[in-house]
């Protein structure tokens, strides 16, 4: 297993330089930084998950209409949020890599896709578990659920398209185009309950109105959302380090890194 070590001095960012942050666009410089951040984000994710689940399952009151079955929202809603946020982040990095030809940007897009896929599946699965006792059905082909299923297919398509092409550059470009086209699905998901008559209930949290839920419920969901954020960052950084080593395996700094660890 390869662990992080500092890259060659000539690759390290110079403190005080105007462009010091741009130095982290180099995989050789970003690799050790990611290794230092990963345990902190995993620890933060674990702590926030414990706090959020405790609030959601033991402190938040029972809903007067849905009983305790509603408590699945402490997984369902944050997962749904993260699946959309990660897709936007994935599309952003993919397009940055396409436009500016930056290797690390394309690697970040590839690293985010599996985590986004997981959260999309989790949102669909927990939504079905919640829907059965609440609305009497596991699934309906309404606008919200159908557009979310399309999001899952977009993630799977992105991963499959990149895996199908042997040339990394071609795979990054093809994935960026698909990701950019799929961005149109995000506002459809978000506004579907307002644009169409759907079985799915409207949002309990709005940027333009006060929340319609008890404060402890809101805090539980927000803390779980932060936990999923921390996990997503840690997972993406872990995965991007593997991608960096795979794509940069012929570079001098990777050979030097491997030799030091062998």
16 domain-assigned: no
Tally of domains within the chain? 1
Per-residue pLDDT, 198: 61
- Alpha helical stretches, state H, the chain: 27-54, 73-100, 103-135, 143-164, 168-182, 185-195, 215-247, 252-261
pLDDT of residue 233: 98
| pLDDT the model gives residue 9 | 41
pTM, two decimals, is 0.86
The residue segments making up the domain with residue 171 are: 31-261
Question: b/e per residue, 84-96, with b = 16+ CB within 10 A?
Answer: bbbbebbbbbbbb
Does residue 164 lie within any of the structural domains?
yes
Mean pLDDT by 10 residues, the chain (262 residues): 47 50 80 95 98 94 79 92 96 94 94 97 92 78 89 97 93 96 93 66 55 80 96 98 91 83 73
Q: Is residue 134 in a domain? A: yes
Residue 1 confidence (pLDDT): 45
């Amino acid at each position: 297993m390869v662990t992080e070590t500092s890259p060659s001095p000539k690759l390290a960012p110079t403190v005080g330089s105007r462009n010091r942050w741009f130095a982290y666009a180099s995989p050789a410089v970003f690799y050790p930084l990611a290794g230092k951040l990963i345990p902190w984000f995993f620890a933060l994710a674990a702590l926030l998950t414990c706090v959020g689940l405790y609030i959601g399952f033991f402190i938040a009151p029972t809903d007067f209409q849905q009983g305790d079955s509603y408590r699945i929202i402490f997984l369902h809603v944050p997962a749904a949020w993260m699946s959309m946020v990660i897709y936007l982040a994935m599309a952003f990095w993919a397009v940055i890599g396409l436009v500016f030809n930056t290797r690390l940007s394309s690697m970040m897009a590839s690293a985010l896709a599996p985590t986004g896929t997981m959260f999309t599946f989790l949102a669909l699965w927990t939504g079905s578990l919640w829907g059965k006792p609440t609305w009497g059905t596991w699934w309906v082909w309404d606008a919200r659920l159908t557009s979310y299923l399309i999001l899952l297919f977009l993630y799977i398509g992105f991963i499959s398209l990149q895996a199908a092409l042997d040339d990394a550059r071609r795979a990054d470009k093809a994935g960026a185009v698909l990701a950019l086209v799929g961005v149109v699905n995000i506002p459809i998901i978000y506004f579907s309950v307002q644009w169409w008559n759907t079985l799915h209930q409207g949002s309990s949290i709005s940027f333009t109105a006060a929340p319609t839920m008890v404060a402890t419920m809101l805090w539980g969901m927000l803390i779980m959302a932060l936990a999923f954020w921390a996990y997503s960052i840690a997972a993406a950084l872990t995965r991007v380090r593997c991608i960096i080593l795979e794509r940069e395996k012929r570079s001098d700094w990777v050979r030097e890194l491997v030799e030091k660890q062998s």
